[in-house]
Amino acid sequence: MNRVIFTIIGIILATNTMAGPFTYDIQQAGYDFDQYDLKGEATYEIFIDEFQKFPWVEQVGKNTGGSEPTISVKNKESKIDYWVSVIGKPNEYAYLVGIVQPKMVKSMFGLGKEKEVRWVSIYVAERQQTVEDTFKLYFAGKIPELNQELSRLPLFLEQEAR
């Protein structure tokens, strides 16, 4: 009996340690905003492979009223999401990188009590290498360094996440 219990506990622990904290999904150009293809577990290497082979140029500007093409990565443990999208035209485009993370904000036009919200900050990255470098920081869990690197990029938008 004890052996069965220890075996079950061992399987549960092994399953939890095998599954990393990162998962990812992909939105093709024109998908509804709540439509995406779940891909499963993510590592930096998996992300780089997906990012480099994704048809960004073919899909840029073809949102037809839906979403732009996007690869999103979620960290289940830290609850910080990081994603890359693209805007522009096939001959002239830029990447957007967005981070969704907890932030303390004051309610009632800055006069009320502080509360924690999920906050999205979106930046413009003109080079593929910038995207790859910032995702390396994200996967390494170096969020302060990631935020510092992002602060050097042009800010596109920031607001409370929906």
Residue 5 counted as domain residue: no
pLDDT at residue 19 above 50?
A: no
Based on its alpha-carbon atoms, the radius of gyration of the chain, rounded to whole angstroms, reads 19
Amino acid 150 reads: L
Q: What is the pLDDT of residue 106?
A: 82
Domain total of the chain: 1
Residue 13 counted as domain residue: no
pLDDT in tens, 110-119: 677 889 999 9
pLDDT band at 93 (very low <50, low <70, confident <90, very high): very high
Stretch (H or E) spanning 32: none
pTM score, two decimals? 0.83
Sign of the dihedral defined by the CA atoms of residues 18, 39, 57, 139, in that order: negative
Task: Please report which residue ranges of 94-158 form alpha helices under DSSP H.
Answer: 107-110, 128-139, 143-151
Q: What is the pLDDT of residue 12?
A: 41
User: Which structural domain, as residue segments, surrounds residue 110?
Assistant: 21-160
3 state SS of 40:
strand
Q: What is the pLDDT of residue 17?
A: 39
The rounded distance, in Å, linking the Cα atoms of 30 and 38 is 16
